[in-house]
Amino acid sequence: MPEQISWPRRVGGRLRALASGAGLFVLAITITAAQTSDAPDQVTRRVRLRGGGDDPNVTTDLAINVRKKPSDVAPPAKRPAQQQVCAITFDNQTELFAKTYIDGRYSFTIRPFSEVSTVAVPGSTMLYARAEFDDGSADAWGPIRVNCRTKYRWRLSD
């Protein structure tokens, strides 16, 4: 007889435990199907920002490229270990070009009515987007902090 796992269930006024491996299989299929949905995890409406001051949601990128001098040393033959990643999709449902930021660092500019995917380290991640105008004002979405495990979809809306 296969081993049974118990789930609490109220039957006739009593708490009764009952489940089988088949029930867990159906639950696993349901969870997997839910993960392949094209629906966004979150929809955020834009907010109008006034003034040309610094935005506290954007960090200045201090990454500076340094030209390497030629070397006689051969690169190592080992490849670095593959790291888990979380796929983040920005779905822009507005008529604006928007700059996107992940954890305060510029990621890319997304075109109107398009979507772009990128990757981030799994775990707590801050997402932010802003559309800048020629008069110094801007529209912003977020910042939002999300817990990204394998994939996350964020829809930018008017």
Other CB atoms within 10 Å distance of the CB of residue 10? 8
pLDDT at position 118, please? 92
Domain 39-49+83-158 sits in CATH at 2.60.40
| Gap between the terminal Cα atoms of the chain | 57
Determine contact, residues 40/91, Cβ cutoff 8 Å.
yes
- Mean predicted lDDT score pLDDT of the chain: 74
Q: Where is 22: in which H helix or E strand?
A: helix 21-35
pLDDT in tens, 29-70: 444 444 555 666 777 777 777 766 677 777 766 655 566 667
Cβ 95 vs Cβ 69: under 8 Å: no
Selected residue with higher pLDDT from 83 and 28: 83
Cβ atoms of 115 and 136 closer than 8 Å: no
Domains of the chain, by residue range, sit at 1-36, 39-49+83-158
Note the pLDDT tens digit of each residue in 20-30: 444 434 434 44
DSSP string, 92-115: E-SSS-EEEEETTEEEEEEPTTEE
Give the pLDDT score at 16: 43
Residue 35 has which token pair?
Answer: 């993960």
pLDDT of residue 42: 73
Q: Residue 51's pLDDT is what?
A: 66
What pTM does this model have? 0.56
Q: Report how far residue 76's alpha carbon sits from residue 89's, in angstroms, rounded to the nearest whole number.
A: 34
